[in-house]
Amino acid sequence: MRISSKGEYGLRALLDLAQRVGEGPIQSHDIHLRQGIDENYLNQILILLRRAGLIESIRGPQGGHRLARPPSQITVLDALRALEGPLLTFDSGRDAPTPTDPMDRDLVREVWDGAREMLERYLASITLEDLCQRKAQRSGAMMYYI
Amino acid sequence: MRISSKGEYGLRALLDLAQRVGEGPIQSHDIHLRQGIDENYLNQILILLRRAGLIESIRGPQGGHRLARPPSQITVLDALRALEGPLLTFDSGRDAPTPTDPMDRDLVREVWDGAREMLERYLASITLEDLCQRKAQRSGAMMYYI
DNA sequence: GCATAGTCGAGTGATCCGGTTAAGTATCTT
DNA sequence: AAGATACTTAACCGGATCACTCGACTATGC
């Protein structure tokens, strides 16, 4: 059970935008340079984020991308849902061989429903603003050493 | 991000064994009949559980499988780790394009470390015994309707 | 020693992931 | 209007994984 790199890249792109709110549209090329994400792949990820309504894209020269909402209104869960689809799904669409004792299956699924609920609550509690603040605190602390 | 059916099947097999502790070795064929899991696939899953030390297997006629520890000593986390490998991993083994700003990546990974830790704590808190009790309570409640 | 029953590994078609390529479309500057 | 810029979309690709399947092997009890 792994988290795809799409989730990581997309979240980092959002974080990159969140740190530059108010600077006008940010070009995907700049994100690529700062974050080291393949530019073509990054473009695909940005499309997912736009379709999910998390960012807005402006075409043409001087175009780019910006957050559609303030960083405090975008959670990590929003990002992951846009990028990876539903979290912790089981393959409900299997042929379902109608076991003699269907109760065990329900039991197992309840465990996972609980896990998913807990995970979603956690991810929904973290906003882009939180992460930016966390980062600012650290680079602030580093300033003392300069 | 999905949970493979291997995790579900394996946990159901363990649950099947847990409900028959003390009845001697349970054959994979019987588990297959009760749980509706493909017998060959189930055998592969049982091998994983055996290698992880969760069950013991007895060969020959009248052979079968049994839990290696009492149900109270086996958690859902034990099962999932045996069946699916580490939970919520990110692909750390990628080429890592050394971004200009490596901090964002660290930030994202901390979020996931937190998610994993929380998930593992939850899954480790549920034992096979817990699930058996939960099931017994429900079938007990149903008895009133007969 | 032979049938029974569990063990193991290789193979398979489908699907997905990470990434690439190439064409298309919208917008700004000149 | 022309052309450069920059985002959009679809198609494609090799490799990995998933859910199984198959066939051979090996240990055990009668």
Q: Give the per-residue pLDDT at A93.
A: 43
Q: A21 or B143, which is more confident?
A: A21
Which tokens hold the place of A1? 């059970």
Q: Give the per-residue pLDDT at B99.
A: 61
pLDDT digits (tens, 9 = 90+) for A79-127: 999 998 888 887 644 445 556 677 888 899 899 999 999 999 999 999 9
Q: Give the per-residue pLDDT at B93.
A: 44
Q: Which of A35, A90, A108 sits opposite B101 (nearest CB)?
A: A35
Judged by average pLDDT, the poorest of A26-30, A80-84, B60-64, B123-127 is B60-64
Mutation target vs B (from A108, A120, A138, A139; most B CBs, 10 A cutoff): A108
- Dihedral sign, CA of A55, A129, B101, B112? negative
As a whole number of angstroms, the distance between CA A42 and CA A17 comes to: 13
- Does the beta carbon of B85 lie under 8 angstroms from any beta carbon of chain A? yes
Protein CA at A87 to nucleotide C1' at D10, angstroms? 27
φ/ψ (deg, to 5) at B55: -130, 165
**Is B2–A90 a contact, with Cβ atoms under 8 angstroms apart?**
yes
Q: Give the per-residue pLDDT at A41.
A: 94
The pLDDT > 70 percentage for chain A reads 89
Q: Which domain, by its residues, includes A126?
A: 5-143
Using an 8 Å Cβ cutoff, are A30 and A42 in contact?
no
Task: Give the count of domains, chain A.
Answer: 1
**Is B135–A107 a contact, with Cβ atoms under 8 angstroms apart?**
yes
Q: Which residue has the tokens 């080429």?
A: B95
Mean predicted confidence (pLDDT) in B31-40: 89
pLDDT digits (tens, 9 = 90+) for B103-114: 888 899 899 999
CATH number of the CATH domain containing A77 = 1.10.10.10
Nucleic strand D within 7 A of Cβ A34: no
Q: How far is B51 from chain A (nearest CA, A)?
A: 19
